Structures are given as C-alpha cells and as structure tokens.
C-alpha cells in the first residue's frame, strides 16, 4: 500500500485525442493523472496505476484534446479598423484609405495614444474570446507602437496579460512590422534603432520570448531582416518571420537559415523555401483569416510542406486590419476548406505544431507524460467535430495547469 503515487487530480470518462507526433492517437476510455501541474499518466483507464488522488473528475463521455495553441496573434493594439473594413466593402481602395491616414498607421496612432492599462483592458476582452474556445497558450506580438517607448509599453502589456489570465502567454517583439512615419525617408534609421537600442533593452528587461519581422516589398527587405536577425541571435533571442504573404522574396528560406522557430503566412512560398524549412526545423504557420479577409487567391503550398515534412501550424493572426478573428476553431475549418488541410492536420496545427512554432513542443501541445497539464474536455463524439461545426461557442471545460477554469 505504501507505493501508491499521490496526485492532485485524476480525469476519466472520455476518449483522449493525444496528438502525439501530430496524429490523433486516440485512446478510448482514457485517463489522465496530474501532479504539480503536469501529466504523470496518460493512457487507458483500465491500465492506470492505483493513484491516490485528491480529486477524481469523471467526465460524461466526449473527448479530451490538448489545450489549443494560438501561435500568431496581434491582440494588443489601440482602436479598431471596422470603419476601414466598411469603406473597403463600399468600394474605397486601400490606397485611398491609406491616403486618408488609415491603414496600419491609424492603429499606430491609436496604440501610441493608449495607456498600458488601456492596452491590457482592450486586449483582455479579445483574448477572453479565444480562451473560451479552449486556447491555453497564446503568442502576442508588439509592432503597432513603432517607437521605442510604445513598443516597450506593448510588450509590458503582453506580460501583464500573462499574469492575469489562465493561459501561457508568449511575447514577441515585432518592431520590424512597418516603418514609422518619422522614418519614411530613412528606413535604415529605424532598423538601426531596433538593432542598437530597442532589442538590447527588450532582452535586458525580459520582455520578449522571440523576435519577428515582416519581410515584404511593402515592408522590410531580406537584407534589413537579416540585420534584425543578426542582432536577435547575438542577444540569444529566437526569431520568426512574416514571409511570402504577398510575393516570393525568399524570406522563408532566409528565416530557416537563421534557425527560425517559424515562417508565417507563406502563400508564395517555393519549393526552395519548403526544403530549407524542413532542413532547419522551421514550422510553417498558416493564417487563413488574413487570406479570407483579403480575398486572396494564392493558397500556401500545403502539398509542398507535406512532401518535405514541414510541420504546419494554424493560427488566428488576430489583428485589427487583416484578420479580426476571435475564434481559433473557425481557423481550423478555414485551414481545411480554404487551404486543403485534413482535420487531423488542422488539429495538429493548433496543438503540437503550434507549440513547436513557439519553441514549446517539449512541454506543450500533446497529451503525454511529463508535459504541462493543459487540456480541454469537449462533449463531442469525434475530433473532426471541432473542425466541422462553423461558429457558435461549443461548450467545453478548460483545464489549465491541472485546474478546471
């Protein structure tokens, strides 16, 4: 009797969708045991050791998945752009909207004018929508401040959110998102500030877990991105990249050569990009929300990523301009219907591969012994139902670090 292991909680009564290796790996009538916020047993209930549990939760059937991971968001910003959305649908061109002071610079103005507390409060409302649908890990980027103090304020707001919500919140410094209006005539000057002043401060203050950039003909050139990445790597910070969204610039291959965690968007990625990403372990993060809202027609090369063994993540890209998406589950459906992913690939994209895109695959993203006990119970018969139902908040019970929320 003295050899039983004491655990805080045991969960039984549902089928487990483990997502080990990015596959369903279903365990019918499964059981989970949690100790100190981590999984210490994952397997069939009939084979579970005789744990001494403080609490035993018997679930009423259904399935349990890993907690969902939204690995690419821009949830912290000031104002909103619904007026521009309406203008575009009424026939006003993006160029005209930009000439009126709209576009990303309108978000920059609103973000610069917002207090840290206001940024936290508005982002919290948006984040709560994601958490209600089973998200337990989320990445949030800066990039709408575009001056040193506003970028730092955004990153502090992201860290505050991480302290206030039952989710693991990762912060990414995206100062290389666009050129500030003050540097329109001197783009290299902004790159200098990012490299010489901002990134060292961010790293010293522990305000970011990674560094991102937007590589595109209307944003940062591959050469400018390389400068930012050289500095980030020298500071010991992981990198990732918005790449190949609107044109093929070789950004994904560039990111892979820097050992990037991920390259994101990728509508125009080439076989060379896919090969480089496979070689360096860089995840392809697909963002169907922006593809849908911008009414793009060039799909990311899902078949190429499959062929070369590049893991594919899916994310909401929640942002005010091109993907005002507050449902990661809707992105599961869009990943299948718009991009041709399978339901299993889509679910892997918001669990294990989403975690890998954040450098967290060893601790998050699947139901495996030793991993963090973030999981979700859904009153559904099959995992494909998560992808199948369009909209509507599916009832679910979210367990974060072993505790029901």
Q: What is the pLDDT of residues 316-353, one digit of tens each?
A: 999 999 999 999 999 999 999 999 999 999 999 999 99
Same domain, yes or no, for 61 and 90? no
What pLDDT shows up at residue 2? Answer: 53
Residue 265 annotated as lining a ligand binding site: no
Distance separating alpha carbons of residues 215 and 226, to the nearest angstrom: 10
Same domain, yes or no, for 145 and 265? yes
The DSSP string of 181-198 is: GGGTT-HHHHHHHIIIII
Distance separating alpha carbons of residues 60 and 291, to the nearest angstrom: 38
Residue 230 annotated as lining a ligand binding site: no
Same domain, yes or no, for 343 and 386? no
Distance separating alpha carbons of residues 394 and 378, to the nearest angstrom: 8
Is 290 within 8 Å of 283 (Cβ atoms)? no
Distance separating alpha carbons of residues 154 and 174, to the nearest angstrom: 10
pLDDT at 389 over 80: yes
Q: Which long-range contacts (CB under 8 A, 24 or more apart) does 184-187 make?
A: 187/224
Mean pLDDT across 151-164: 98
Q: What is the pLDDT of residues 14-55, one digit of tens each?
A: 999 999 999 999 999 999 999 999 999 999 999 999 999 999
124-137: string of b/e by CB count within 10 Å (b at 16+)?
Answer: bebbebbbebbbbb
Q: Is the pTM of this model over 0.95?
A: yes
Asked if the structure places residue 152 within a domain, the reply is yes
Residue 281 annotated as lining a ligand binding site: no
Same domain, yes or no, for 89 and 206? yes
Asked if the structure places residue 362 within a domain, the reply is no
Residue 177 annotated as lining a ligand binding site: yes
Residue 37: CATH number of its domain: 2.30.40.10
Same domain, yes or no, for 170 and 130? yes
Asked if the structure places residue 30 within a domain, the reply is yes
Residue 242 annotated as lining a ligand binding site: yes
Q: Calculate the alpha carbon distances from 272 to 160, 187, 278, 299 in Å.
A: 40, 29, 10, 17
Same domain, yes or no, for 232 and 260? yes
- In total, how many domains does the chain have? 2
What pLDDT shows up at residue 122? Answer: 98
Residue 280 annotated as lining a ligand binding site: no
Residue 292 annotated as lining a ligand binding site: no
Same domain, yes or no, for 261 and 336? yes
Distance separating alpha carbons of residues 254 and 256, to the nearest angstrom: 5
What pLDDT shows up at residue 1? Answer: 45
- Determine phi and psi for 335, rounding to 5 degrees: -60, -35
Asked if the structure places residue 80 within a domain, the reply is yes
Distance separating alpha carbons of residues 395 and 375, to the nearest angstrom: 14
Residue 190: CATH number of its domain: 3.20.20.140
Identify the band that residue 98 occupies on the pLDDT scale cut at 50, 70 and 90: confident
Is 71 within 8 Å of 315 (Cβ atoms)? yes
Asked if the structure places residue 77 within a domain, the reply is yes
Distance separating alpha carbons of residues 313 and 88, to the nearest angstrom: 30
Same domain, yes or no, for 190 and 105? yes
Residue 321 annotated as lining a ligand binding site: yes
Same domain, yes or no, for 99 and 120? yes
Q: Based on C-alpha coordinates, what's the Rg of the chain?
A: 21
Residue 317 annotated as lining a ligand binding site: yes
Asked if the structure places residue 270 within a domain, the reply is yes
Same domain, yes or no, for 185 and 137? yes
pLDDT at 166 over 80: yes
Structure tokens belonging to residue 57: 């939760």
Same domain, yes or no, for 77 and 182? yes
Same domain, yes or no, for 244 and 312? yes
Domain that holds residue 56: 5-66+367-404
């Amino acid at each position: 009797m003295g050899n039983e292991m004491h655990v805080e909680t045991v969960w039984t009564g549902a089928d487990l969708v483990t997502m080990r290796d990015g596959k369903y790996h279903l365990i019918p009538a499964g059981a989970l045991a949690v100790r100190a916020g981590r999984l210490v047993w994952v397997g069939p209930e009939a084979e579970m050791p005789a744990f001494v549990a403080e609490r035993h939760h018997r679930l009423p059937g259904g399935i349990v998945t890993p907690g969902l991971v939204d690995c690419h968001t821009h949830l912290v910003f000031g104002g909103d752009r619904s007026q521009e959305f309406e203008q575009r649908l009424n026939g006003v061109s993006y160029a005209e909207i930009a000439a009126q002071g709209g576009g990303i610079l309108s978000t920059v103005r609103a973000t610069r004018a917002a207090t840290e507390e206001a940024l936290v409060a508005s982002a919290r409302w948006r984040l709560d929508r994601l958490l209600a649908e089973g998200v337990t890990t989320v990445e949030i980027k800066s990039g709408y401040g575009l001056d040193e103090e506003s970028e730092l304020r955004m990153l502090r707001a992201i860290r505050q959110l991480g302290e206030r919500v039952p989710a693991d919140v990762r912060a990414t410094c995206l100062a290389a998102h666009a050129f500030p209006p003050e540097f329109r005539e001197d783009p290299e000057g902004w790159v200098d500030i990012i490299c010489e002043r901002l990134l060292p401060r961010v790293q010293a203050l522990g305000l970011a877990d990674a560094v991102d950039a937007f590589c595109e003909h209307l944003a940062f050139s591959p050469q400018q991105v390389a400068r930012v990445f050289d500095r980030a790597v020298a500071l010991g910070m992981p990198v990732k990249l918005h790449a190949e969204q609107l044109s093929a610039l070789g950004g994904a291959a560039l990111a892979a050569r820097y050992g990037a965690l991920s390259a994101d968007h990728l509508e125009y990625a080439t076989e060379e990009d896919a090969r480089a990403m496979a070689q360096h372990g860089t995840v392809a993060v697909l963002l169907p929300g922006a593809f849908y809202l911008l009414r793009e027609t060039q799909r990311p090369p899902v078949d190429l990523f499959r062929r070369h063994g590049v893991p594919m993540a899916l994310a909401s890209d929640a942002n005010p301009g091109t993907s005002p998406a507050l449902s990661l589950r809707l992105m599961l459906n869009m990943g299948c219907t718009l991009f041709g992913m399978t339901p299993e690939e889509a679910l892997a994209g918001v669990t294990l591969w989403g975690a890998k895109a954040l450098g967290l695959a060893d601790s998050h993203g699947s139901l495996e012994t030793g991993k963090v006990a973030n999981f979700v119970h859904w009153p559904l018969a099959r995992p494909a139902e998560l992808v199948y139902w369009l909209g509507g908040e599916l009832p679910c019970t979210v367990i974060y670090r072993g505790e029901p929320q």
